[in-house]
Amino acid sequence: MRARIIRLFIAEKEKEGRTECNELDFDEKGVRGDKFYGRKPDRSVLITGRAAYELAAEHGIALEEGDLGENILLDIDPRELEPGSIVRLGEVELETVRRCPICEHLSIYDERLPRLVKDLRGVYLRVRRGGKVNLDTPATIVKSAHR
């Protein structure tokens, strides 16, 4: 299944939220330059889709893309990415580890948000093969439980 990268984000040290960027550089420890780099390899990358943002908006919760903590915003429903699914972004290969759990810190936007988006927020992935990714990098879901 083909996908398209919509936006890329990095969590900068000593800064709240995510910063949009034009390129991400991955290795086995995660996203280089991200404040979470090297901490938990099985949770080093977060991918989400627009569905969570759309659901929040339907419930009157205003969010900016990046507010859900993603590194990569794709034009797919993240529920398509079951554990074991492979996401190829050009030369970079990511493996889905698990869905994001309910994250109470999202309640800073609205106390309803953590439970509202719990199934749509996104998935954590580990880096299987590193490299650089930009907005023009082709994205493909190689293996998915929904196939």
CA distances from 130 to 64, 92, 95, 117 (A): 28, 5, 12, 29
Across the chain, mean pLDDT equals 92
- For 93-139, the pLDDT digits (tens) are 999 999 998 888 899 999 999 999 998 999 999 999 999 999 999 99
Contact 35, 8 (CB under 8 A): no
* Residue 59 pLDDT exceeds 60: yes
pLDDT at 147: 45
CB 102 within 8 A of CB 113: no
Task: Give the tokens for residue 38.
Answer: 């090297």
Q: Under a CB-based contact definition with an 8 Å cutoff, are residues 30 and 45 in contact? A: yes
* pLDDT band per the 50, 70, 90 thresholds, residue 35: very high
Residue 49 has which token pair? Answer: 């889709």
Of 134, 15, 110, 1, which is closest to residue 53 (Cα–Cα)? 110
The closest of 93, 100, 88, 94 to 124, measured between CA atoms, is 100
Q: Is the pLDDT of residue 144 over 70?
A: no
Q: Is the Cα torsion angle 34, 126, 28, 129 positive or negative in sign?
A: negative
When pLDDT is averaged across residues 86-95 and rounded to a whole number, the result is: 96
| Residues forming beta bridges with residue 74, ordered by sequence position | 5, 49
Any idea what the Cα angle at residue 51 is, between residues 50 and 53, rounded to 5°? 65
d(CA 65, CA 114): 16
